[in-house]
C-alpha cells in the first residue's frame, strides 16, 4: 500500500480506501456487477491488508471519510499523534 506507507513515513494519520482504492482495483460498474458474496470477500481482504500495512483507519470509499476526519480532529485536540 504505497499511499499508506507514504503517509506513515511522513508522520500522518492514514486512511485506506478499501473498495474504491487500488486494493480492489475495479471500476464502479464492475464492482456493482459482482455477486454480494464476492464483494464481501474482496472488501474483507482489502480491509485486512490495509490494517496490516498500518493504516489508522480503513473505509470502503471516500464517501465514508468524514467520521475519520472528525475522529482524527478529536485525537489531535487531545494531543495524540499518529
- pLDDT number for residue 29: 92
The confidence score (pLDDT) of residue 22 equals: 85
Task: Check if the beta carbon of residue 15 is closer than 8 Å to that of residue 65.
Answer: yes
* Phi, psi at 65, each rounded to 5°: -75, -35
The Cα 70–Cα 50 span in angstroms is 20
pLDDT (tens place) for every residue of the chain, 82 residues total: 778 999 999 999 999 999 988 888 899 999 999 999 999 999 999 999 999 999 999 999 999 999 999 999 999 999 999 9
Res 77: pLDDT: 97
Residue 51, classed as helix, strand or coil, is helix
Question: Which letter does DSSP use for residue 26 in this model?
Answer: -
CATH number of this structure's domain 2-77, picked from the four choices 1.10.10.10, 3.40.50.1000, 3.40.50.300, 3.30.70.890 = 3.40.50.1000
Strands 15-17 and 57-59: parallel
Q: Name the strand (E) or helix (H) holding 59.
A: strand 57-59
Amino acid at each position: 500500500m504505497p499511499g499508506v506507507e507514504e503517509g506513515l513515513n511522513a508522520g500522518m494519520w492514514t486512511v485506506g480506501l478499501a473498495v474504491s482504492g487500488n486494493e480492489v482495483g475495479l471500476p464502479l460498474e464492475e464492482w456493482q456487477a459482482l455477486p454480494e458474496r464476492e464483494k464481501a470477500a474482496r472488501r474483507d481482504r482489502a480491509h485486512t491488508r490495509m490494517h496490516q500495512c498500518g493504516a489508522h483507519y480503513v473505509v470502503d470509499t471516500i464517501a465514508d471519510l468524514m467520521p475519520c476526519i472528525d475522529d482524527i480532529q478529536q485525537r489531535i485536540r487531545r494531543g495524540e499523534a499518529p
